[in-house]
Structure 1
Amino acid sequence: MGHCAAIWEQRASFELTKDWNGIDEVVVLRNPKGASVRVSLHGGQVMSWRNDRGEELLFTSSKAMIFKSPKAKAMRGGISVCFPQFGKCGSLEQHGFARNRVWAIDHNPPPPPNPNPNDSTSLGKSFIDLILKPAQEDRPHGFELRLRVSLALDGNLTLISRIRNIKNAKPFSFSFAYHTHLSVSDISEVRIEGLETLDYLDNLCQGERFTEQGDAITFESEVDRVYLSSSQCVAVLDHEKKRTYIMRKQGLPDVVVWNPWEKKSRLMTDFGDEEYKQMLCVDGAAIEKSITLKPGEEWTGRMELAAVPSSFCCDNLDPHLNYF
């Protein structure tokens, strides 16, 4: 058993082991019912999320384990932290540098600025706190990025990121996303509810803005969109597995929906030619309007994932209710 870290309101135990390559350190969280989460210190990336039956809920490419890059990079799959940008812009690498850096375990994180006594984040959960500070070559300078990954008794997975502009630093702006690869049975049998009538930016049309016309999002070809100003809850229904993924989010107004389909899959070195059928990215994000922090200010973004029987749909939730 690994260290016991002092974390916000109570202590949590975790295992510290090695990745498949025997080099990168991995934190393993488990709950009493048998669910588990694996988090790599390389990138703070969630590599695995299994339910109490041992079923893997996140997609990871079979080629991710054997792909060799000139420099360390995030594994294709799981949930990676995209900061300080999503996509490719300027001199920074695709989706920013946070997912390509080595994080540290944060043994003494500061308490949240406005703790909620009814928040169940720290009650009955296994969790770990990680921290990333800027390297000399990183831009912007002067930030602290903290990430809490927690696994609840019911198997729900929660990620909370806190980004602070440390004092004596200049104001800086950033975008952010939890790049989430969900495991699905067959992409043609999947639909997304909760994004109806929203405007979206279509990256297949140079970012042109459209309005969603369908009752739900279904898939027949490549999709690469950013849905804007969405509600707190989005549902991904997998008919064949009779499973629904529920995403609840806070501080993350946008949702990225991505599937590369057949043609683009064949062009990606670390992705199998047919793996697009078993994968769907649905990301909680803050992309359209960048976040600007003055010295001393802090931003928090939170995403919770649950996997429930497929009878669930977004009509079961009040979009105005705060589920946190």
Structure 2
Amino acid sequence: MPLMNVFHDGDGFPRIVLADPSGSSAEVLLYGGQVVSWKNERREELLFMSSKAIWKPPKAIRGGLPVFFPQFGNLGTSERNGFARNRFWTIDSDPSPLPPSNNHSSVDLLLKSTDEDLKIWPRSEVRVEGLETLDYLDNLMRRERFTEQADAITFDGEVDRIYLSSPQKIAIIDHEKKRTFVLRKDGMPDAGMWNPWDKRAKTVPDLGYEDYKTMLCVDSAVTETPIVLKPLEEWKGYQELSTVSSSYCSGQLDPRKVLYGF
């Protein structure tokens, strides 16, 4: 039968050893969720580990199978290759079931966000729905017109757009806070969206350098077709902002119910 043992190695790392009757095995560290050994039936090591690897937090361990998350290399706002490889993971006490097998051993690991993580990327938990497939004017591209291709809008850089002929309901879903802001409007067909991100935030005199991490501007607007009133005519614009307790990650909130009522 497959075996799984957990022990602290000579470097003080909690280490999981998986083995099966054929003689093959794998070793996984809770630090970084990193596979540091994989041996076949002949006990041959299949993974490279640097002879000079630094086995001491907060350094990453060179070799094996590291987890790069939430970014690869410098392609993002987090530290190089992300922070997941520098954190201690936990063993999932209620893992997803696998197909029955007499020859395979497995372990499920979990990494949960900390308050420090959320300071780095709180907008990763925010998405805007209700604007998909719409045309928008991109103020970062001299108001060039584009069509929104994403099913939901998420944020990893500066955004300054005007969405045209937008619906009367727009949902701003905050997974981390487990709530949704619902913007209802009438008489204002367009919608603006703005987040300056890090570089632009430093050029705005009355905005803190780190404020962009905790803000998102979504507002009602009339931009494409100005309102023209004749004598004695009137125009009414209406906007309502409300919140709904929700957890989209767990399926408790279906955005379609908020936006379209079904």
Normalised to the residue count of structure 1, the TM-score between the two structures is 0.41
- Structure with the greater alpha carbon radius of gyration: 2
If the length of structure 2 is used for normalisation, what is the TM-score?
0.50
Larger % of strand: which?
1
Greater helix share, structure number = 2
